[in-house]
Amino acid sequence: MLRFLQKYKQVFLYAASLVALLLLLQVLQYKFLLLSHSFEIYILCIAILFTCLGIWLALKLVKPKKEIETIVVEKTVYQQELTEADKEAMERERQKLGLSNRETEVLQLMAEGLSNQEIAERLFLSLATIKTHSSNLFLKLDVKRRTQAVEKARQLGLIA
């Protein structure tokens, strides 16, 4: 190995000097590039700075929304069976107010949260008929709104 190095000593020195010269040329070229394009490099640095600032500000202002967790609660709902006495009391109250069977049906469907159109479809009546029944209900129960009518009907025991 030593013999190999001695034989090609000049070749290695020549190669090392060429590498050093090439490195020197690259450094000089880099410095020249910096000097000749300093304005463009300055603008590039400012653009990168403001881009990073914008991204940082956006992340601070618009925090990621918390994931909504849905919790399902299963609960047994018991529907109270109406006894004969309850049914008779409801019927007496209905007759006392002068409500027809159809008006009572409309009131029950209002309590279920159906719109006039849905009530009309369910009872196979026109929308105008349902509106007439609703108006009659409001007069007989002395209320102005559907929610008031349902609440008063529950208080009077007209609906379960």
Per-residue pLDDT tens over the stretch 93-149: 888 888 888 988 999 999 988 999 999 999 999 999 999 999 999 998 899 999 999
Number of domains the chain is built from: 2
Is residue 51 domain-shared with residue 88, that is, in the same domain? no
Give pTM, 2 decimals.
0.49
Q: Does a structural domain hold residue 3?
A: no
Per-residue pLDDT tens over the stretch 26-52: 888 888 777 777 788 789 889 999 999
Q: Does a structural domain hold residue 5?
A: no
Is residue 39 domain-shared with residue 95, that is, in the same domain? no
Rounded to whole angstroms, the Cα distance separating 91 from 105 reads: 13
Q: Does a structural domain hold residue 137?
A: yes
- Is residue 102 within 8 A of residue 133, CB to CB? The reply is yes
Q: Does a structural domain hold residue 57?
A: yes
- Residues 6 or more apart whose Cβ sits within 8 Å of residue 84: none
Owning domain of residue 113? 84-156
